[in-house]
Amino acid sequence: MASRYLLYDVNPPEGFNLRRDVYIRVASLLKTLLKNSNWVLVLPPWGRLYHWQSPDIHQVRIPWVEFFDLESLYQNIPVIEYEDFLAESGGPFIEQVYVLQGYAEGWKEGTWEEKVDQRPCIDQLMYSEDKNGYYRGWFWGYEETRGLNVTCLSVQGSASIMSPVLLKNTTARSIMLDRAENLLHDHYGGKNYWDTRRSMVFAKHLRVVGDEFRANVLHSTDESDKTIFHEDWTKVKAKPDWALGGPYLAVHLRRKDFIWGHREDVPSLQRAAEEIHSLMKKLKLKKVFVATDADREDLEALRKLIPEMVRFEPTWEELELYKDGGVAIIDQWICAHARYFIGTSVSTFSFRIHEEREILSFNPKTTYNRFCGDKEKDCEQPTHWKIVY
């Protein structure tokens, strides 16, 4: 049994792949804590995500095992599912909730310092006291869960600045960091980052569905594409420029809230279709796999513009089984195995595909590509992050 439990949550509007990024930050904090004492990270159940809009599907209190391979996570840090935490800790109580926020006065330019201080809550608190003096909150949809204490902390700095607070300022056995996205990476792109990232292996049942689709629809197999998968991520080391990838172009075309903001770096469908056709010609590829969150109207337009488009379209039963998160993973898995990938500017959905391709040993030229906006002047391409082992 662990001596202490670290829990966390993220600002509700944030999407699945940004949340995967926050997991990496918190895992790094956990590694720092482990140098001192026995801790375990409680995996925050998935659910009620703004982007998961498929109707009539129960998408709350989803355990991590539905999306990720728990054994692989465990090889990096000790983790348990929330339900196991409830069973192990003997009740629906979290002793201390810290709500992380910025500093009301903002950042003073030129004087960056890492700091954390107890401060009055800036935003309205998303927790309310019940008649026993305990705190109700969202708690991933577990209505019976209560926080015994809720405190706001202003933070400025990387995840491990929380370590002294957790080790010295409180003796609580279970501590939740809410709004954990306010913590920065300890070292983005360093060994720790990559160890955690590599440990986030997709759940086998989703990989299998992606592999079947690759084989049946895209004539893509690991042997012919040189993308052999090993169950044990700790034994995998990328061989530069090794993977060939399946005979298709893969595209991630982020729409919805990315176009509502009228951002300059997101292309029109017309422009995206032109780019896709030009790449297919240049790369001599006849198939294009499109991952997108486009609405029905956009999809119809896309189909007219790109008649050769291939998509993973789950039946209702498949959707109910894999859920929106699982379908997103299947899309990412298929994109990760393509001969060439092009994504959407600053989308963490695209970034996670870059990393997956890096792990699979693709040449960076085939990975770090993005669409340009129709009127974008300086269309800078994504940065190549090399794995540190």
Ligand X SMILES: C[C@@H]1O[C@H](OP(=O)(O)OP(=O)(O)OC[C@H]2O[C@@H](n3cnc4c(=O)[nH]c(N)nc43)[C@H](O)[C@@H]2O)[C@@H](O)[C@H](O)[C@@H]1O
| DSSP code at position 365 | G
Half-sphere exposure of 13 (CA within 13 A, CB side): 1
One of 14, 71, 275, 318 is an active-site residue; which one?
14
Token reading at 273:
């279709």
Q: Is 9 or 236 the residue whose CB approaches ligand X more closely?
A: 9
* Nearest approach, Cβ of residue 174 and ligand X (Å): 27
Q: Is 27 or 94 the residue whose CB approaches ligand X more closely?
A: 27
* Residue nearest to ligand X according to CB distances in the complex: 15
Q: Is 40 or 253 the residue whose CB approaches ligand X more closely?
A: 253
* Nearest approach, Cβ of residue 48 and ligand X (Å): 12
Compute the distance between CA of residue 384 and CA of residue 238 in angstroms, rounded to an integer. Answer: 14
Q: Which residues pair with 93 in a beta bridge?
A: 146
* Nearest approach, Cβ of residue 186 and ligand X (Å): 21
List all residues 6 or more positions away from 168 whose beta carbon is below 8 Å from its beta carbon.
none
Q: Is 6 or 327 the residue whose CB approaches ligand X more closely?
A: 327
Q: Which residues pair with 101 in a beta bridge?
A: 154
Question: How far separated are the first and last CA of the chain, in Å rounded?
Answer: 30
- Report the number of secondary-structure helices (H) and strands (E) in the chain: 12, 15
Residues forming the site for ligand X (CB under 6 A): 13-18, 51-52, 252, 254, 257, 291-293, 324, 327-328, 331, 347-349
| DSSP code at position 383 | P
β-strand 79-81 against 128-129: which pairing, if any?
unpaired
Does 297 qualify as catalytic in the annotation? no
* Nearest approach, Cβ of residue 6 and ligand X (Å): 22
Q: Is 26 or 291 the residue whose CB approaches ligand X more closely?
A: 291
Half-sphere exposure of 214 (CA within 13 A, CB side): 29
Q: How does DSSP assign 260-276, residue by residue?
A: HTT-TTS--HHHHHHHH
* Nearest approach, Cβ of residue 39 and ligand X (Å): 27
Catalytic positions: 14
